[in-house]
Chains A and B, each alone.
Chain A
């Protein structure tokens, strides 16, 4: 049974960084791409990028280039998304979601709420 369990809610000040984790179980972690998607309050979905857990390759949306870093630790089947130089408009729910073969983002984590406030 596939599970993606994310870390808990965070409150950060503007200019700080946040690192969200996503622990995978129930499948071969290194076999599937992991994506990160965010959703501001009351807004739509925004794709941030992916990481290939097998080798650490990444592909980021230009919108977050220079501020986002996606990493993984294969020994504990966990993916991470770090966002730096936080602004108030980075306040959002952050989701991890895996691809599976030809299925895009077929399984999602429960989400991590990041609040940026002074």
Chain B
């Protein structure tokens, strides 16, 4: 199975700052079948990015995804109060569809 490793585990930033989250795959993801999800406390995950760089419907353009092969990045250009949450990457190129362990973005 493909293992996804996210870093850092926790990111402490202030509103308005830029957040850069990393996701590394144990093998190359052909077709860039990599998604990012946001999860707020007590809520279901929300799809943000699919295909490594395409924003899902309704996702603000301050969220952007990039990368290919084994290295992927989620960038939040200017953090808004509602962006402080946990973020997960997931590969969906092969079964099982594995998730990374998550990065928590917290208020500094």
Contacts and interface: CB of A to CB of B under 8 A. Distances in A.
Given A102-B51, A105-B35, A47 B98 contact: yes
Contacts of B88: 44-45
A47 B99 contact: yes
Interface residues of B, number: 24
A56 B50 CA distance: 26
Contacts, number: 58
B44 A110 contact: yes
B90 interface: yes
Contact of B96 (A61, A108, A111): A61
A35 B101 contact: no
Given A103-B50, A104-B90, A95 B99 contact: no
B99 A46 contact: yes
B102 interface: yes
Given A44-B99, A47-B96, A59-B95, A106 B47 contact: yes
Given A44-B88, A45-B88, A111-B44, A104 B97 contact: yes
Contacts of A108: 44-46
A54 to B, nearest CB: 18
Interface residues of A, number: 22
Interface string B33-77: 101010100001111001100001100000000000000000000
Contacts of B97: 35, 47, 104
Nearest to A46: B99
Contacts of A105: 35, 37, 45, 47, 90
Given A45-B88, A97-B44, A110-B44, 11 more contacts: A44-B100, A46-B99, A47-B99, A61-B95, A95-B44, A102-B51, A104-B35, A104-B47, A104-B90, A105-B45, A105-B47
Interface of B: 1, 33, 35, 37, 39, 44-47, 50-51, 56-57, 88, 90, 92, 95-102
